[in-house]
Amino acid sequence: MDIFEQLKREHGLILDVMDAFDAYAQGLLAGSEDQHGLSPFIVFVSDYMDGLHHAAEEKILFRAMNEHGFAAEVGPISVMLREHDSGRSFTETLAAMEAANASWTGVSRARAAHAIAALSGLLRAHIAQEERMLYPLACQALPEHALRAINAEGERLVREQGPLRLELERLGLELCGRFTPKAASVA
């Protein structure tokens, strides 16, 4: 699988989990979910989305683009990097809320739901932008030998991540099965 197909496949799972996350947030507002349900989402977002997916983009794709004339400080890569950082900030906010000992009040539920909506909105826009603009741009601009090299690096990374990747994919599918079962069964 070439690296763009791999990254898009990961986007698919991230988007499905964001649907589940939005459903969890709705449950918080309706009083049918509590703070304990937040933890597996934080694990998925931190370890799969950031730890595997964003890491592959930053260490393989963006680095190759950077080496072929795309600055990291301005232009499309800088925008994508800033959005990765914003995703980390929302996740840290949610993780701190989850780690707090006190039971959530209505205000904390609303705050968490608001942060989840902000994170999922950010990621949906970010992923659309990467698939419509950044990946096609990289495909066009990188020379053949660089594309071959990033495909090989991507495959190596996926092999190295083996069991962890499988475990996190399973977690993502479980979350979809629990919160958006119809969508999970269609997919």
Angle of the 3-30 helix axis to the 162-179 helix axis, nearest 10: 40
Check binding of 19 to Fe ion (CB under 5 A).
no
Residue 10's SS3 state is: helix
Give the shortest CB-135-to-Fe ion separation in angstroms.
Answer: 9
Question: Which residue number, 77 or 112, has a Cβ lying nearer to Fe ion?
Answer: 77
Check binding of 87 to Fe ion (CB under 5 A).
no
> What are the CA-CA distances from residue 181 to residues 40, 75, 147, 155 (Å)?
17, 39, 38, 31
Q: Which stretch binds Fe ion (CB under 5 A): 18-26, 38-46, 56-64, 66-74?
A: 56-64
Q: End-to-end CA distance of the chain, in Å? A: 20
Residue 27's SS3 state is: helix
Scan residues 102-131 and list those touching Fe ion (CB under 5 A). 130
Q: Among residues 52, 57, 154, 180, which is the contact residue for Fe ion, using CB under 5 A?
A: 57
Give the shortest CB-11-to-Fe ion separation in angstroms.
Answer: 6
Give the shortest CB-41-to-Fe ion separation in angstroms.
Answer: 18
Check binding of 48 to Fe ion (CB under 5 A).
no
The token duo for 183 is 């969508």
Give the shortest CB-124-to-Fe ion separation in angstroms.
Answer: 11
Give the shortest CB-96-to-Fe ion separation in angstroms.
Answer: 23
Number of residues that bind Fe ion (CB under 5 A): 2
Tell me the DSSP string of 71-139: -SSSHHHHHHHHHHHHHHHHHHHHHHHHH-SSPP-HHHHHHHHHHHHHHHHHHHHHHHHIIIIIHHHHH
User: Which residue ranges make up the site for Fe ion (CB under 5 A)?
Assistant: 57, 130
